Amino acid sequence: MKTLEKLIFVCIALLLVGAGMSYTTVSAATAGTTVKEFPYALSIDGKKVEFAASSQPLIMNGTALVPFRPIFEQLGLTITWKTAEKRISGESNELDLAMTLGSKKATVNGKIMDMPAAPSIINGTTYVPLRFIGEASGGELQLYGAEGGHNAWFLSKKQLDLFHAVAGEDMSAVEKLLQQGADPTIGVGPLGPTVASFAPFKSDNVEMTALFLKYGMDINYVEPFVGTTILHDAVSDGRYNMVKFLLENGADPTLQSRLGTPLEIAQRGSMALSDDFTITYNVDDALITLLTSYIENYETK
């Protein structure tokens, strides 16, 4: 906290130096500038972004600003700094993003776009507007308060596309994204659920689950908040064929989660929501029998 307070003090001090300051630092020309602590832990695709102690994210005049280098690097962008032009650029196969210090105009894949704040050097570090970077890169930023652990959850374009492809049951798009390294075990939010869990939620899509395994997903990957695996999810959604496929391919039917074991979930029944939002539970005896037989075999191994 002391480090952030010191950074805020430096920012305010810069604002008070005078109008003669170079535009590459925070300008003193704007009256009423406010600088506040950024009250979230920032993650990109489930991985926390690490910032130097002296260069923490902050909120200036209502806009969240972050040091550009850690963000660009975690997004896999190649960074170029053109000193004479005071121009920052980040490039990948799909994105060409360029910004100039002191300017609210950015170039995204050749298109000029407005930013809520200009990139600025604060305490020796170049800061850029966080939400703009998220949207310009094709990703999505969501902010969660106390109920979400005070997290800023940033899904990259690749992960966001995978979520939409899985939810839309677009098999070719799912496979293409998995080939590119998209990860079905990453949560769509800090409390989950995982992208993979939307496969059983949508339908009894064994082929989709097989794709996840083909491209390296651990069949017993445990979602960190609720402690569920894709087997728990398939049981919760009453997907007999998917449950059978997972068990045949090594899913552990004994794993405990905050919702119980797969068998305990099956015994409660899969949840169904009617048009009038009435919740009912449907018990599938065949699913219970299937799980019981695999548990007996699993425990004797």
Tell me what pLDDT residue 211 has.
97
Tell me what pLDDT residue 20 has.
32
The mean predicted confidence, pLDDT, of the chain is 88
User: What is the per-residue pLDDT across 54-81, written as a single tens digit (0 to 9) for each?
Assistant: 999 999 999 999 999 999 999 999 999 9
Torsion of CA 226, 229, 233, 234, to 10 degrees: -170
Domains and CATH numbers, the chain: 2-136 (3.30.457.10), 158-299 (1.25.40.20)
Query: What is the pTM assigned to this prediction?
Result: 0.84
User: What is the per-residue pLDDT across 115-129, written as a single tens digit (0 to 9) for each?
Assistant: 999 999 998 999 999
- Residue 244's pLDDT band (boundaries 50, 70, 90)? very high
Percent with pLDDT over 90 in the chain: 77
Tell me what pLDDT residue 3 has.
42
4, pLDDT greater than 50:
no
Average pLDDT score over residue span 41-51: 96
